[in-house]
């Protein structure tokens, strides 16, 4: 007759931790197996049944059941093993993290693996193991932009209010320009990399054939975009584009135009006086992400401009117009949102992040 594991018990907190360990994707394979064994014992399963489900031996089940009975969750951890003290242990890890807080060696702008290994007189492979384990990427970088506009809250609330609760029968338009789009001619194709991956390739040399400027007005409610391609990007061209936008709207309809703080958008009082139904709303400084048309410009860059090879500005214009025509067929309003960035996400030291 098959032996049944003696009934064991534990508190609700320990059971919750065992369930977390058993379903974890980050814990070691051994710890996951031990947690599953103990949970099987808590459920009153037979030793052989637990061993079969965990693909291990009955003696292993008995061992970890007994360790849990004697020491609880701590008994599932590996006991200290005899042997030489590791050369690159916790002390080395702490030294690596502390060194990264110091100025880099002379002649370097930032630390890298070999520089850290040289400074600590250790193995560069050991340094890389520490960096991988701590999730530290010394070469990858992120940037952040914090608006210093004293009226940020009021301006942001004004624009977000237009998105969420627009005035009745008013037209909300997001306007901006993409200046100096280059007509570049260069060979493109595909290459196979050393690891067998096939990637898009561009020849390093290219020819310039001039630039174009693109004005765009996104209708927030529908996602439709009106555009104008120009050679120049002065205030004169901007106001000519706004004349087109106003002409396409109903004469009695109010237009609320969202703009950034580019110089050509300012000092337009004379034009606004001629169009009293048009109202300009400016984003806070260093907060162009509040302007929805920036999303559309990102789509344009990814789908039509990145990797484009043209022999003239005429070909560049055709490519842009082709994208605009194709996009118009499936245009729809954006589900606009911005992830909240909290001050607690930014740390001034690596040690604060890793401890």
Provide DSSP, 168-188.
Answer: TT-EEEEEEEEEEEEEEE--E
**Cα separation of 191 and 40, whole Å?**
53
**Residue 305 tokens, joined:** 């401009």
- Quote the pTM value: 0.65
CB–CB of 191/143 below 8 Å? no
**Residue 219 tokens, joined:** 């209708």
Task: Domain ranges for the chain, please list them.
Answer: 12-76, 90-134, 152-329
Is the sign of the CA dihedral 273, 278, 279, 280 positive or negative?
negative
Model confidence pLDDT, tens digit, residues 273-311:
999 999 999 999 988 888 999 999 999 999 999 888 999
Beta pairing, strands 225-230 & 207-219: antiparallel
**Cα separation of 122 and 108, whole Å?**
19
Query: What are the C-alpha distances in Å from 343 to residues 148, 286, 346, 348?
Result: 15, 17, 6, 11
Query: Tell me, what's the pLDDT at 340?
Result: 57
Query: Tell me, what's the pLDDT at 226?
Result: 93
Query: Tell me, what's the pLDDT at 84?
Result: 73
CB–CB of 288/260 below 8 Å? yes
**Cα separation of 282 and 261, whole Å?**
6
Q: Which residues of the chain, if any, have pLDDT below 50?
A: none
Query: Tell me, what's the pLDDT at 257?
Result: 94
User: Rounded to 5 degrees, what angle do the CA atoms 322, 327, 331 make?
Assistant: 160
CB–CB of 258/292 below 8 Å? yes
Beta pairing, strands 255-259 & 278-282: parallel
Architecture per CATH, domain 152-329, reads as 2-Layer Sandwich (3.30)
Q: Which residues contact 143 (CB under 8 A, 6 or more apart)?
A: none
Query: Tell me, what's the pLDDT at 347?
Result: 62
DSSP one-letter code for 196? S
Q: At 39, which helix (H) or strand (E)?
A: helix 29-42
């Amino acid at each position: 007759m098959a032996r049944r594991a003696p009934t064991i018990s534990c508190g609700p907190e320990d059971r919750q931790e065992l369930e977390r360990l058993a379903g974890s994707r980050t814990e070691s394979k051994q710890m996951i197996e031990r947690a599953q064994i103990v949970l099987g014992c808590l459920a009153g399963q037979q030793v052989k049944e637990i061993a079969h489900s965990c693909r291990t031996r009955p003696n292993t089940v008995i061992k970890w059941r007994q360790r849990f009975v004697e020491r609880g969750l701590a008994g599932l951890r590996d006991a200290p093993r005899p042997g030489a003290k590791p050369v690159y242990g916790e002390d080395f890890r702490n030294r690596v993290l502390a060194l990264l807080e110091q100025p880099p060696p002379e002649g370097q702008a930032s630390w890298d693996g070999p520089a850290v290994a040289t400074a600590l007189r250790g193995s560069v492979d050991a340094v890389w193991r520490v960096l991988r384990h701590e999730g530290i990427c010394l070469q990858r970088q992120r940037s952040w932009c914090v608006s210093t506009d004293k009226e940020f809250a009021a301006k942001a609330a004004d624009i977000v209010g237009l998105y969420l609760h627009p005035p009745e029968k008013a037209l909300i338009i997001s306007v901006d320009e993409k200046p100096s789009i280059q007509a570049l001619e260069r060979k493109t194709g595909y290459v196979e990399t050393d690891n067998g991956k096939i990637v898009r390739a561009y020849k390093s040399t290219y020819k310039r054939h001039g630039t174009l400027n693109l004005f765009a007005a996104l209708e927030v409610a529908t996602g439709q975009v009106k555009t104008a391609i120009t050679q120049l990007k002065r205030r004169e061209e901007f106001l000519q584009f706004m004349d087109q936008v106003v002409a396409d709207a109903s004469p009695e309809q109010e237009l609320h135009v969202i703009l950034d703080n580019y110089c050509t958008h300012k000092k337009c009082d004379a034009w606004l006086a001629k169009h009293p139904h048009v109202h300009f709303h400016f984003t806070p400084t260093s907060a162009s992400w509040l302007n929805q048309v920036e999303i559309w410009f990102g789509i344009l860059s990814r789908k039509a401009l990145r990797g484009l090879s043209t022999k003239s500005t005429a070909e560049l214009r055709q490519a842009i117009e082709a994208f605009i025509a194709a996009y118009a067929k499936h245009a729809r309003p954006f589900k606009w949102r911005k992830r909240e960035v909290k001050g607690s996400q930014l740390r001034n030291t690596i040690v604060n992040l890793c401890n």
